[in-house]
């Protein structure tokens, strides 16, 4: 599996993603600068977390217009898998590859802690090594992770199985206390219709090695390796 990680001014999780990808696949991903205009032949593109351009305008808005994102959008339309994490999720929404938007956290505070996620489906290239309904622990670190979409869009995401993860308690129940940012319907991550594009606010790359406290996020990268190799 050949992967690439996009780096923008302000990215701070590009190396985290690269380290996990190399550990799982055995080969380093291509590191692509935001001003590049061409991508090599790829199986997976990771749009990592960070604070692109400081996110001073609107989260992900400026990064969505970086030269490389035009190529990412074109390849995504051709079926290349695209994985947006945290700020990367925001960028994918800004490009239109995923519906909805990410707003300020409901309590207006930056949140940085572990959360619990319920895996809504195992029928995707990202989640095939998880069991549907299982609960996993993954860190979050964001100030604008409050997922918002109109009710028709939310109904469609639910009805067509495009919700990938929801914030839950340790027992798998959707509760207000388990939701760190106020996201509608406790949504933590969504797919596009093909389920080859995934955007999620939590950081699986930050919990993929026992040395950093756990491996709950590693299965996501192992799923990708199995599906795309």
Tell me if residue 13 is catalytic: no
Which residue reads 């079926």 in tokens? 79
- pLDDT-derived band at 7 (thresholds 50, 70, 90) equals very high
Contacts of 65 (CB under 8 A, 6+ apart): none
Of 34, 86, 142, 144, catalytic: 86
Q: Share the mean pLDDT of the chain.
A: 97
Query: Is it the case that residue 218 has pLDDT exceeding 90?
Result: yes
- pLDDT-derived band at 55 (thresholds 50, 70, 90) equals confident
**Ramachandran category for residue 172: left, alpha or beta (phi over 0 → left; psi -120 to 50 → alpha):** left
The confidence score (pLDDT) of residue 56 equals 81
The confidence score (pLDDT) of residue 183 equals 98
Determine the Cα–Cα distance for residues 76 and 98; give it in Å rounded to an integer: 11
Going by C-alpha positions, the residue among 229, 207, 228, 227 that lies closest to residue 217 is 207
DSSP lists the bridge partners of residue 147 as 102
The confidence score (pLDDT) of residue 123 equals 98
User: Full-prediction pTM beyond 0.95?
Assistant: yes
Mean pLDDT along residues 23-44? 96
* Stated length of the chain: 229
- The CATH T-level fold of domain 3-228 is Rossmann fold (3.40.50)
The confidence score (pLDDT) of residue 224 equals 98
- Report pLDDT digits (tens) over 66-119: 999 999 999 999 999 999 999 999 999 999 999 999 999 999 999 999 999 999
Burial 188-213 (b: 16+ CB within 10 A, else e): bbbbbeebbbbbbbbbbbbbbeeeee
Tell me if residue 86 is catalytic: yes
Q: Which residue has the higher pLDDT, 128 or 54?
A: 128
The confidence score (pLDDT) of residue 229 equals 93
Domain map (residue ranges) of the chain: 3-228
What percentage of the chain has pLDDT greater than the value 70? 100
Lowest mean pLDDT among 56-65, 95-104, 126-135, 139-148: 56-65
The confidence score (pLDDT) of residue 89 equals 98
Query: Is it the case that residue 17 has pLDDT exceeding 90?
Result: yes
Helix axes 218-228, 14-25, angle to 10 degrees: 60
Query: Is it the case that residue 57 has pLDDT exceeding 90?
Result: no
């Amino acid at each position: 599996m050949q992967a690439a990680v996009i780096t923008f001014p302000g990215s701070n999780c590009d190396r985290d993603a690269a380290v996990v990808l190399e550990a799982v696949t055995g080969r380093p991903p291509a590191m692509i600068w935001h001003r590049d205009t061409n991508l090599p032949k790829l199986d997976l593109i990771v749009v990592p977390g960070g604070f692109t351009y400081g996110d001073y305008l609107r989260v992900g808005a400026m990064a969505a217009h970086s030269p490389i994102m035009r190529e990412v959008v074109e390849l995504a339309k051709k079926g290349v898998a695209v994985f947006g994490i945290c700020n990367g999720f925001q960028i994918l929404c800004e490009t239109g590859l995923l519906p909805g938007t990410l707003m300020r956290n409901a309590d207006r505070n930056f949140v940085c802690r572990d959360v619990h996620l319920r895996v809504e489906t195992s029928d995707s290239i990202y989640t095939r090594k998880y069991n549907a309904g299982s609960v996993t622990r993954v860190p979050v670190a964001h100030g604008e992770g409050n997922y918002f979409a109109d009710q028709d869009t939310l109904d469609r995401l639910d009805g067509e199985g495009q919700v990938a993860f929801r914030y839950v308690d340790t027992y798998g129940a959707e509760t207000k206390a388990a939701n760190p940012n106020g996201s509608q319907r406790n949504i933590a991550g969504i797919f596009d219709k093909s389920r080859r594009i995934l955007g999620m606010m939590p950081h699986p790359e930050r919990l993929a090695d026992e040395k950093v406290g756990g491996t709950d996020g590693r299965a996501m990268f192992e799923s990708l390796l199995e599906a795309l190799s």
